Chain A
Amino acid sequence: MPDQQTSPFIHRTGFGLLLLVGAFALAGPALVGVDPAAQSLGDSLLPPDARHWLGTDVFGRSVLARLAQAAQRSLGLALLAALSAALPGVLAGVCASWCGGRIERALVMLADACMAVPGLLLVMLFAAMAPGHYWALYAGLALSLWVEYFRMARAASRPVLHGDAVQASRLLGFGRRYILRHHVLPALAPLLATLLPLSVAQAVLALAALGFIGVGLQPPTAELGVMMIEFFPFYSEAPWLIAAPVTLLVFLVLGMMLLAGNKEHT
């Protein structure tokens, strides 16, 4: 439900911001054209200048090149995790409210069970089994994110499925696919659009938190979370370093919030 106060301009700004971040992640590495792994210890911790737009890190690597690569990698991983959480989550949610009865109760119970174990804990256990591996992080993240989609999809599809429009469609003899495509999906789409960037941001932060406690991806991988950890010790000497990945995240979250309007989804 879009908020009355949100103007189309704000929506467009939000969308534009998200596009910008996405474009940077997709095309950034090619545009920057500098090897993000090339070190030059003589150029350690240079402030931003014409040659290095975002300065250099302690190894003398170009922060811009690393940020571009990191944006690609982290957003990719986070998006993948969010999508693979969203798909089964939404399906299960719609299925629960469609079928009702025993199936719904079983699915709710499963979701409750997953909710009992805090997400980061799950990711941590997975990551501890295979430190520094993408699949462990991905699996852990996806497992911890799906419940949110399940709850959302179940809550949002119930009024639609029990509503007059669906009843009418059923009476007219339209099949399941039609109902899903023409009734349920339109109701879910805006909610999904706000939840997805949110969980991407959440996943990136979770990756950072894992890096902080030492079970995430390891340097020298350029990844937003790892970058934050790497740059973190230089917060006073070279504050522009830590500012770079955080600003990127701020853009992501801001874009998402503007797009979603002044509404928080629980």
Chain B
Amino acid sequence: MNQTPPNPARRRLLNATGMAALAAASGRLLAQTTPRPLLIVSSWEISGLSPAASGYIFTRLQVTETLLGSRDDGTPEPALAGRWQVSADGLEWRFELRPGARFHDGSPVSAQAVLHSLERVRTPPGLLATVPIRSMDAPDGKTLRIRLRSPFVLLGSVLAHSSTMILAPASFDAKGTVREVIGSGPYRVAKLEAPHQVETRVSEYYDSPRPAIGAVRYMAAGRAETRALMAESGQADLAWNLDPASITRLRSRNAVGISSVTLPRTLAVSLNAGIPGLSDVRVRRALSLSIDRAGISRALLREQDLAATQLMPPTLAGWHEPSLPPLTRDPATAARLMREAGWTASPAGWRDAKGQLLELRLQTFPDRPELPVLAAALQAQWREAGFAVKVSIGNSGDIPLAHRDGSLQMGLAARNYAMLPDPTGTLAQDFAPNGGDWGPAGWSSPIVSDALQKLLRGGLTPDEQRAERRRILLALQQELPVIPVCWVRAHVAVNRRLEGVRLDPLERSFRLTEMRWKA
């Protein structure tokens, strides 16, 4: 054999490479000894720094504040603006800023700074773009004035939305792009590694009592199983967006606490009432009557009480109408309605007078893991009732897109009716006569439009408000342009050492300042 003698230099080189690789990796291999911050894990990634993109993460982490806040029922409350007034004609709003408020770079939160920040978010898709603003100015250092072209009662809600969060002037570069998140909340960003994580510390400049939790780390982890195991192993202190199977498992293992809150979010099927089959209200009702909501709630969502009897859950007090006849399952009535509407049953499904088969397509997306599962269940239940439905799982943009090009037939989504704290805004968008992105297509109702207009114009007494809301809910329940399936409950796994965890039904804040470690 003609082997060369081992070359010592080459050996050393190889060794050195190995050591260097180990040394490079060791930063991630060895545990560090700094005190552990509160670790939050959820599925939301920080996709960008602009307020419309990931603003909600920074408001939830209480890094940034909005001018107004919101109570759990959706009514506005003071936040960065300590007080606000609306003129009698509803055209002029004045906001007085909290006197001691300072940004994390030490600069005071002046009316000019707020104006600068709000001017940057007046472009779509920021919600401020939907407000009929005539002008915004700062009459003095601590007052902001917004003049409107027409009364817009939702301005308070818009100014509580994360897309209008207030950033320090130093956050923006010359082109108006956000380069750094400098807010005015109790926590400041200490380290940001988009899209995965952000670390925060208590801000030295915050003007209210110091929160008990001094440091927070927020992580995005894509899989629910990962988040559940992070919570169970004690690595994560708060784990958001857990799936039903993980919740069941965590409950039975009892290693962590579970906090829950029913959200103003509904798993519902938006219909295109403009296409032949679905334009008949009897067909829409038959579709609704074929759904086993209780079964879905129990078997798939693993909850006893989430079957939607109407659009809004009971927790959304102002918008839940107990007097409405509940949505139920009744296959016999469904079949009768279909026959009355002129359809005949065949092995392949319902056929119209010309023998044309009623074939429907249900679109949904996997961003919320329960949606594809629900779609599969709906498909099977509808098939049992004679409806031939094809499921198509795409991207969350597909439903608004199908809306735009008119190809939507049925779209299953988990619609958040409290995107603005006041559900009127989302309802007005969804049930507008020409159809919103997520509402029904090809459907309009003079009653609903009229009631929504009145609510948007404002100036109603609480009783009148209740009556208008009832008109809307009743019309939606009878016409079923959107078929509610189930309500949504959020579950959070909580470290047993942590107390003061109170979930926000409007998903606006993690409420970190109320938490503390048990002694």
Contacts and interface: CB of A to CB of B under 8 A. Distances in A.
Interface in B381-436: 381, 391-394
Q: Which 5 A-B pairs have the closest CB atoms?
A: A41-B295, A44-B299, A233-B245, A39-B380, A41-B299
A41 B391 contact: no
B2 to A, nearest CB: 22
Contacts of B246: 233
B376 A234 contact: no
Contact of A59 (B248, B299, B366): B299
Interface of A: 37-39, 41-42, 44-45, 58-60, 131-132, 214, 218-220, 232-237
Nearest to B253: A236
Interface string B223-255: 011000000000000000001011011001000
B376 A214 contact: no
A58 B300 CA distance: 7
Given A42-B295, A58-B300, A233 B380 contact: no
B393 A234 contact: no
A218 B394 CA distance: 10
Interface residues of B, number: 26
Interface of B: 224-225, 243, 245-246, 248-249, 252, 292, 295-296, 298-300, 366, 372-373, 376-377, 379-381, 391-394
B292 A41 contact: yes
B300 A237 contact: no
9 contacts: A39-B376, A41-B299, A42-B299, A58-B373, A60-B299, A220-B379, A232-B225, A234-B245, A237-B245
Nearest to B392: A132
A37 B379 CA distance: 10
Task: Determine which residue in A60, A235, A236, A237 has the highest number of CB atoms from chain B within 10 A of its CB, and name it.
Answer: A236
Contacts of A58: 245, 299-300, 373
Contact of A219 (B248, B373, B394): B373
A59 B380 contact: yes
A233 B295 contact: no
Contacts of A214: 366
A38 B224 contact: no
A39 B366 contact: no
A132 B393 contact: yes
A29 to B, nearest CB: 18
B245 A59 contact: no
Given A37-B380, A39-B377, A218-B372, A233 B225 contact: yes
A237 B249 CA distance: 7
A81 B295 CA distance: 40
A236 B251 CA distance: 12
B393 A59 contact: no
Nearest to B296: A41
Q: How would you classify the secondary structure of chain A's contact residues: helix, strand, loop or mixed?
A: loop
Contacts of B391: 218, 220
A96 to B, nearest CB: 29
B298 A41 contact: yes
B423 to A, nearest CB: 30
Contacts of A59: 299-300, 376-377, 380
B303 to A, nearest CB: 13
A236 B249 contact: yes
Contact of B376 (A45, A131, A220, A237): A220
A156 B354 CA distance: 65
Nearest to B246: A233
Contacts of B252: 237
B374 to A, nearest CB: 11
B224 A233 contact: yes
B366 A131 contact: no
Nearest to A233: B245
Nearest to A60: B299
A195 to B, nearest CB: 32
A208 B262 CA distance: 34
B376 A219 contact: yes
Given A39-B380, A44-B298, A237-B249, 14 more contacts: A37-B380, A38-B380, A41-B295, A41-B296, A41-B298, A41-B299, A41-B300, A58-B373, A59-B377, A131-B393, A131-B394, A220-B379, A233-B225, A233-B246
A25 B381 CA distance: 28
A41 B329 CA distance: 14
Task: Determine which residue in B224, B243, B300 has the highest number of CB atoms from chain A within 10 A of its CB, and name it.
Answer: B300
Contacts of B381: 39
Contacts of A218: 372, 391, 393
Contacts of A131: 393-394
Given A131-B394, A233-B225, A237-B245, A219 B372 contact: yes
Nearest to A131: B394
A68 B132 CA distance: 60
Contacts of B225: 232-233, 235
Contacts of A37: 380
Contacts of B373: 58, 219
A130 to B, nearest CB: 11
